């Protein structure tokens, strides 16, 4: 690029060099396209490049380096640190890389980095196949996979990265590589948990798992410490077909919930059983026997019904979030979870436990850049709200205090749940040995740290 031209002209020129499009601040779609899922991140990038091919990504990266524009990468836009938009940055938006190519015989799928979890799930479940993502259909597969991916199949099939077979990735120099176990194995190790530090992934190849039958949905229980501790012990000992994400939260005003319970706190356990219906009933019976449920909406259905409870996009709010991995979740921790939930002042909150173990724990700590394989639970606090800096500070404090009380013996933090500028984020997300190895891979593939708008691993 000829730096004598004004930046706006150079940005316009970029549009003529790619198959996709460039959205500058003057474009009518700019305001809609710059928005990300979390309302507190209201950023104004220099331009948004909507790439359509891996070659477009390479061109955009060369352009960013020639013009000294910082690079932000955006897929589903759900970054909890607000990394997928930045003031004055060149946002490389992969949402139009949304192809889904299923090989039913080989039981694999190549999915474009712009796909959401719901899009891939709906496409593969029609063939009785599945790959696990998270609890929310609108989250992008890209950010989720690059951080690990903890969802409703975690005990049966592990993290999302445990089903990842390969990535197509554009490196800082614009090289388009396929990384897998045999090619660029160091890079393939790093992208399985190391985030967007090493290049821009354009496609992910996943192993698909047969899913002939599925039973799932919310089991709504009273939010007492006894019920919650009992639930955690049962879920930890349950067959691996059963995974659960369970949380204290205010009940929404929906017809399936008795009217007198609307708005009150309850323990909503999202149960997911990947297996035969009769086995599901057997595995669910002890949970149903814990106490009289306030509502029992667990039933057979396609896996994608688990996404039915996603809040609609127009309910976009500010979100504060913290997590901790732990081996211990017993009576004291359950009591702390309940106490903290009762102190929340946000209109919507979740004090959540995810039960790990199973396939997640059979992968070695050093086998992927996600290293928290020995942990049995992830405890997370989320507050959803609106307001100014005082409100943000109050909710940030609540999520931080809550997670510290309910998971006092912490084994680290989930990189995909790190908040904006969270202190010690990187050190808590990766053990020392993992971080040292990530920094070596970074030096090899991105020595100038072009990809730094993320939970940043600096080159060794
Ligand atoms: C409501 C909500 C629910 C969630 N539920 C879960 C859950 O159940 N399980 C779970 O594991 N996580 C969950 N998450 C966390 C989620 O996985 C992360 O926020 C993830 O980063 C979002 O990915 P995205 O593509 O939507 O976001 P984006 O904001 O688009 O991307 C996040 C970051 O990932 C990197 N990135 C994105 N695309 C690429 C690419 N193509 N190449 C290289 N780097 C890229 C960039 O650094 C980017 O800033 C949830 C988050 C939210 C807000």
pLDDT at 252 over 90: no
Q: What are phi and psi of 248, to 5 degrees?
A: -80, 130
Answer for the pair 320, 344: CB distance below 8 angstroms, yes or no: no
**Tens digits of residue pLDDT in 44-85:** 999 999 999 999 999 999 999 999 999 999 999 999 999 999
**Tens digits of residue pLDDT in 325-348:** 999 999 999 999 999 999 999 999
Answer for the pair 331, 391: CB distance below 8 angstroms, yes or no: no
Q: Please give the pLDDT value at position 2.
A: 64
Show the beta-strand stretches assigned E in 118-213. Answer: 129-130, 164-170, 176-180, 200-207, 209-210
pLDDT at 100 over 80: yes
Confidence of residue 258 (pLDDT cuts 50, 70, 90): confident
Percentage of residues in the chain having pLDDT higher than 90? 91
Averaged pLDDT, 81-105: 96
Name the residue with the closest Cα to ligand 1, atom 45: 196
Could you tell me what percentage of the chain is helix, strand and coil, using 3-state DSSP and rounding each to the nearest 5?
35, 25, 45
Confidence of residue 87 (pLDDT cuts 50, 70, 90): very high
**Tens digits of residue pLDDT in 275-332:** 999 999 999 999 999 999 999 999 999 999 999 877 777 678 999 999 999 999 999 9
Cα 165–36–385 angle (5° rounding)? 115
Confidence of residue 253 (pLDDT cuts 50, 70, 90): confident
* 271 beta partners: 217, 244
Answer for the pair 12, 24: CB distance below 8 angstroms, yes or no: yes
Q: How far is the CA of 204 from the centre of ligand 1 (A)?
A: 14
Indicate the pairing of strand 299-300 with strand 209-210. unpaired
Instruction: Supply the mean pLDDT for the chain.
Output: 95
Q: How far is the CA of 399 from the centre of ligand 1 (A)?
A: 19
Between CA 304 and CA 134 the distance in angstroms is 11
Q: Please give the pLDDT value at position 312.
A: 72
**Tens digits of residue pLDDT in 354-392:** 999 999 999 999 999 999 999 999 999 999 999 999 999
pLDDT at 425 over 90: no
Cα-based distances in Å from 340 to 33, 109, 279, 333:
36, 42, 35, 10
Averaged pLDDT, 263-272: 97
Atom of ligand 1 nearest to the CA of 134: 8
Task: Provide the CA 8 distance to its chain's centre, in angstroms.
Answer: 34
pLDDT at 203 over 90: yes
Is the Cβ atom of 81 under 6 angstroms away from ligand 1?
no
Confidence of residue 255 (pLDDT cuts 50, 70, 90): confident
Percentage of residues in the chain having pLDDT higher than 70? 99
* More confident call, 262 vs 1: 262
Question: Which residue out of 83, 135, 139, 380 has the highest number of ligand 1 atoms within 8 Å of its CB and is therefore the one to mutate?
Answer: 139
* 36 beta partners: none
Supply the DSSP string of 86-131, one letter for each residue: -TT-EEEE-TT---EEEETTTTEEEEETT-BHHHHHHHHHTTTEE-
Q: How far is the CA of 195 from the centre of ligand 1 (A)?
A: 9
Answer for the pair 274, 241: CB distance below 8 angstroms, yes or no: yes
Q: How far is the CA of 76 from the centre of ligand 1 (A)?
A: 7
* Count of positions (residues) in the chain: 460
């Amino acid at each position: 690029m000829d730096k004598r031209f004004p930046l706006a002209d150079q940005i316009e020129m970029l549009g003529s060099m790619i198959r996709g499009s460039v959205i500058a601040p003057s474009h009518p779609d700019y305001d809609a396209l710059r928005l990300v899922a979390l309302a507190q991140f209201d950023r104004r990038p220099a331009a948004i490049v909507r790439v359509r091919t891996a070659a477009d990504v390479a061109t955009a990266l060369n352009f960013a380096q020639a013009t000294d524009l910082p690079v932000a990468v955006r897929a589903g836009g759900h970054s909890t640190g607000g990394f997928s938009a930045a003031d004055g940055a060149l946002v490389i938006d992969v949402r139009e890389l949304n192809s889904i190519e299923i090989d039913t015989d080989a039981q694999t799928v190549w999915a474009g980095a712009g796909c959401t979890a719901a899009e891939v799930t709906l496409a593969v479940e029609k063939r009785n196949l599945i790959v696990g993502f998270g609890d929310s259909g609108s989250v992008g597969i890209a950010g989720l996979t690059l951080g690990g991916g903890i969802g409703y199949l975690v005990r049966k099939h592990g993290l999302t990265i445990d089903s990842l077979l390969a990535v197509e990735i554009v490196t800082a120099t614009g090289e388009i590589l396929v990384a897998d176990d045999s090619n660029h194995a160091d890079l393939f190790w790093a992208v399985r948990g190391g985030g967007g530090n090493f290049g821009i992934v354009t496609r992910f190849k996943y192993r698909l798992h047969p899913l002939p039958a599925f039973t799932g949905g919310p089991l709504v229980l009273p939010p007492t410490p006894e019920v919650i501790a009992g639930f955690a012990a049962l879920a930890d000992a349950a067959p691996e077909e059963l995974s659960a994400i369970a949380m204290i939260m205010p009940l929404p005003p929906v017809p399936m919930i008795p009217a007198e319970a609307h708005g009150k706190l309850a323990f909503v356990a999202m149960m997911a059983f990947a297996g035969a219906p009769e086995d599901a009933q057997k595995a669910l019976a002890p949970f149903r026997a814990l106490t009289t449920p306030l509502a029992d909406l667990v039933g057979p259905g396609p896996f994608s019904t688990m996404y039915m409870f996603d809040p609609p996009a127009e309910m976009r709010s500010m979100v504060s979030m913290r997590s901790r991995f732990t081996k211990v979740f017993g009576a004291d921790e359950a009591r702390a979870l309940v106490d903290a939930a009762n102190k929340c002042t946000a209109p919507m909150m979740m004090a959540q436990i995810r039960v790990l173990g199973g396939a997640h724990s059979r992968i070695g700590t050093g086998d992927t850049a996600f290293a928290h394989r020995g942990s049995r639970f992830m405890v997370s606090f989320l507050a959803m709200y609106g307001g100014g800096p005082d409100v943000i500070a109050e909710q940030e404090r609540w999520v931080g205090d809550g997670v510290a009380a309910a998971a006092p013996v912490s084994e680290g933090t989930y990189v995909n749940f790190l908040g904006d500028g969270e202190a010690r984020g990187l050190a808590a997300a990766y053990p020392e040995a993992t971080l040292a190895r990530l920094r070596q891979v970074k030096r090899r593939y991105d020595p100038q740290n072009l990809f730094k708008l993320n939970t940043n691993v600096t080159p060794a």
